[in-house]
Amino acid sequence: MGQFLSQPITQKLHEQQSNAILYCHTASMQGWRLQMEDAHIMKVDFREDISLFAVFDGHGGAGISNYLADNFLEALVQQPSFIGEDYTQALHDCFIQLDEMIKTNVAKNTFIGSTAVVALVVQKTLYVANLGDSRCLLMRDDETIELTKDHLPCNELARIRFAGGFVNEEGRLNGTLSVSRAFGDFEFKQEPLPANQQMVIAEPEIRKIKLSKEDKFLFLGCDGLFETLNSYKVMQFIGERLQRGMEPPLILENLLDSSLAIDTTTGYGCDNMTAMLILLHI
């Protein structure tokens, strides 16, 4: 069956952490894929009043996503701007440095890469950094707020063409890659151009949001979850079940099962899936 198993692996792996204002639960599932290429970070209060959450969605293998899960936090706290409490700059510099570290330490295979969505909570301020097509969503009152936008080749065509690339009718960069920003993918970073002008770049988009009592929960998820449900349906799915008193582990299990395809005919709903739910008590 090529890139898919004959039957999906539906066992869920769970992790949970909390403090006085945050409750975080993560569930992940391999699904139809031959191997699990997702990884994540969940570190509540790794420093006083600072927590880090991240989902890394690997492609071409799990090497880069696992490397990011193991090394992101250490790289972040070593940034001079993190020490200086400029967290936006720290996240930016961390992404750029990690891509260079990956090139040196991991990516012997130039076709391997990973997206990343990162949420850093500093007291009551949220910083979200995104690379690729994983998403971070916020439920404010009853409104879904998309804190990230997907980095797709069709949306960054000018840069791709300038670097000598193309996007085919299916929206894939040079006919293969479905994202225009990622860690790794050094096949697309070999032109004699600055790093931020390559076909694929590791330049994150970063947002800073002040959290308030109207904010109910955050959700981080890889793109596999959004192949069959859009952002608003995912948040509605979670919100309705929270209102009924369902516990987060069961909600996320139900979400993963609902997103999983019954077969691999269309290819949708056949990816690895990682869902991270963060309840906010600001």
| Containing structural domain, residue 208 | 4-280
Q: What is the CATH number of the domain that holds 137?
A: 3.60.40.10
pLDDT digits (tens, 9 = 90+) for 129-185: 999 999 999 999 999 999 999 999 999 999 999 999 999 999 999 999 999 999 999
**Which pLDDT value is given to residue 1?**
36
**Which pLDDT value is given to residue 108?**
66
Q: Which of 183, 255, 179 is nearest to 217 (CA)?
A: 255
- N-to-C CA span, the chain: 48
DSSP assignments along 224-235, one per residue: GGGTTS-HHHHH
**Which pLDDT value is given to residue 3?**
84
In the chain, how many domains are there? 1
User: If the chain, 282 residues long, is cut into consecutive pieces of 10 residues, what is the mean pLDDT of each piece?
Assistant: 84 97 98 97 97 98 96 98 98 98 83 97 98 98 97 98 97 97 96 96 98 98 94 98 98 98 92 98 90
pTM of the model: 0.96
Find the helix or strand (DSSP H, E) in which 240 lies. Answer: helix 231-243
Q: Where does residue 151 rank: exposed (0-12), middle (13-18), buried (19+ CB within 10 A)?
A: buried
Q: Which of 208, 183, 187, 215 is nearest to 199 (CA)?
A: 187
**Which pLDDT value is given to residue 109?**
65
CA distance 9 to 203: 34
Handedness of CA 35, 224, 129, 241 (dihedral sign): negative
